[in-house]
């Protein structure tokens, strides 16, 4: 058994390994429960779920595993939900995407649903009431009310930092552990104190600086895919690691088979940061859509508008197996992933590599 370290003591897990949470349907209870049952911390990205869906999710988790698990939410960025373009602007954005809707036989969303998202306050209230062992956050710091209520209910809280300043802010707010998420990581960037382009610190530069700056356990994340990466992060001061893309490739993840087949291949050696799929900056494998629309990176509307405009394209492309139009989220170690493994097999391999 590997040394669970301070995070193990805090959460009651056997190994210093957290499975990264995936939103947009990429998470699954089967994946997270397998990791938790294996002695790591399984996680589920719930930022698109309604309060009732969150309640049902935690109930399903508690039936699937008696071990600790985490449910992840996005803290809304200031002004993000009020920055909805008017109908004329939305029409212009739809026209930019019109060729893709037509090619895929997809229908653009109605204006009324473009800005529709579950309310964060309702989501977090439902999650607190359901009381999972751990709640994790990206994109910001939960309110004092949320932190105090979690304490009262015995729920551990994990925040995510992309810079040292964000880590210090999370530590000062009283969160129990902090993910130091380097720019190597796949999926959406969680910067919340400075623009993303000012917050792109590599994992192995970020981890030791965060470890020196905070008092809480630090979880290194980004570009970690095997025992070598875990040992390196621990040597630099991390108490544990969070691994995303390697678990995304496993059989239990919610990623499509076509997406999984891209991971662990030479195509996954190249990743880019793009706003084109959601309006928020995220790292993934470049494809035809990313390359054709590259000139419009700064023109697309912010999240959640671009996310809503792209949803019919993503869903239709996925159903048709058209990878050239799907968001292939992946970190910079994606070419090291193995899509032939189950989640518990991967966890066991990682633990064995730790020695």
pLDDT, tens only, 136-163 = 999 999 999 999 999 999 999 999 999 9
Mean pLDDT across the chain: 96
pLDDT (mean) for 92-97: 96
The token pair at 128 is 């607190």
Q: How many CB atoms lie within 10 A of CB 196?
A: 18
pTM tops 0.95: yes
The pLDDT assigned to 113 comes to 78
Give the pLDDT band (50/70/90) at residue 312. Answer: very high
The residue-averaged pLDDT of 290-308 equals 95
Structure confidence at residue 24 as a pLDDT band (50, 70, 90): confident
Query: What percent of the chain has a predicted confidence (pLDDT) above 70?
Result: 99
Q: What is the pLDDT of residues 263-273, one digit of tens each?
A: 999 999 999 99
Question: Residue range 64-69: average pLDDT?
Answer: 98
Query: pLDDT value at position 300?
Result: 95
Mean pLDDT of 252-278: 96
Q: Give the residue with greater pLDDT, 80 vs 88.
A: 88
Using pLDDT thresholds of 50, 70 and 90, give the confidence band for residue 1. Answer: low
Asked if the model's pLDDT at residue 117 lies above 60, the reply is yes
Res. 237: pLDDT tops 80: yes
**C-beta of residue 223 within 8 angstroms of C-beta of residue 331:** yes
Is a pLDDT exceeding 80 seen at residue 2?
no
Task: Using pLDDT thresholds of 50, 70 and 90, give the confidence band for residue 80.
Answer: confident
* Least confidently predicted of 68-82, 121-135, 284-298: 68-82
Q: 19 pLDDT band (50/70/90 cuts)?
A: very high
d(CA 222, CA 180): 8
Is residue 99 very low, low, confident or very high in pLDDT (cuts 50, 70, 90)?
very high
Q: Mean of the pLDDT values across residues 63-72?
A: 98
């Amino acid at each position: 058994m590997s040394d669970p370290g301070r995070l193990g003591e805090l959460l009651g897990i056997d190994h210093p390994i957290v499975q990264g949470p995936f939103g947009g349907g990429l998470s699954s209870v089967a994946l997270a429960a397998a990791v938790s049952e294996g002695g790591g911390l399984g996680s589920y990205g719930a930022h698109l779920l309604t309060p009732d869906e969150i309640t049902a999710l935690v109930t399903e988790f508690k039936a699937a595993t008696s071990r600790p698990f985490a449910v992840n939410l996005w803290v809304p960025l200031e002004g993000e939900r009020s920055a909805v373009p008017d109908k004329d602007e939305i029409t212009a954005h739809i026209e930019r995407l019109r060729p893709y809707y037509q090619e895929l036989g997809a229908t653009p969303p109605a204006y009324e649903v473009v800005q529709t998202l579950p309310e964060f306050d309702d989501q977090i209230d439902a999650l607190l009431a359901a009381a999972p062992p751990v709640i994790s956050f990206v994109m910001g710091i939960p309110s004092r009310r949320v932190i105090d209520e979690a304490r009262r209910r015995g729920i551990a809280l994990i925040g995510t930092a992309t810079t040292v300043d964000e880590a210090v802010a999370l530590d000062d707010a009283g969160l129990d552990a902090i993910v130091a998420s380097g720019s190597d990581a796949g999926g959406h960037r969680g910067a919340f104190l400075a623009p993303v382009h000012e917050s792109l610190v590599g994992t192995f530069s970020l981890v030791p600086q965060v470890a020196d700056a905070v008092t809480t356990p630090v979880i290194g994340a980004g570009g970690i895919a095997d025992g070598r990466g875990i040992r390196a992060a621990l040597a630099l001061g991390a108490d544990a690691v969070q691994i995303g893309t390697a678990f995304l490739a496993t059989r239990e993840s919610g990623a499509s088979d076509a997406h999984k087949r891209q991971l662990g291949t030479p195509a996954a050696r190249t990743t880019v940061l793009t706003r084109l799929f959601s309006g928020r900056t995220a790292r993934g494998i470049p494809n035809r859509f990313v390359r054709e629309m590259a000139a419009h990176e700064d023109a697309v509307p912010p999240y959640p508008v671009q996310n809503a405009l792209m949803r019919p394209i993503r869903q239709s492309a996925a159903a048709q197996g058209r990878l050239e139009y799907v968001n292939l989220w992946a970190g910079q170690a994606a070419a090291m992933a193995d899509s032939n493994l189950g989640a518990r097999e991967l966890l066991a391999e990682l633990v064995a590599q730790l020695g």
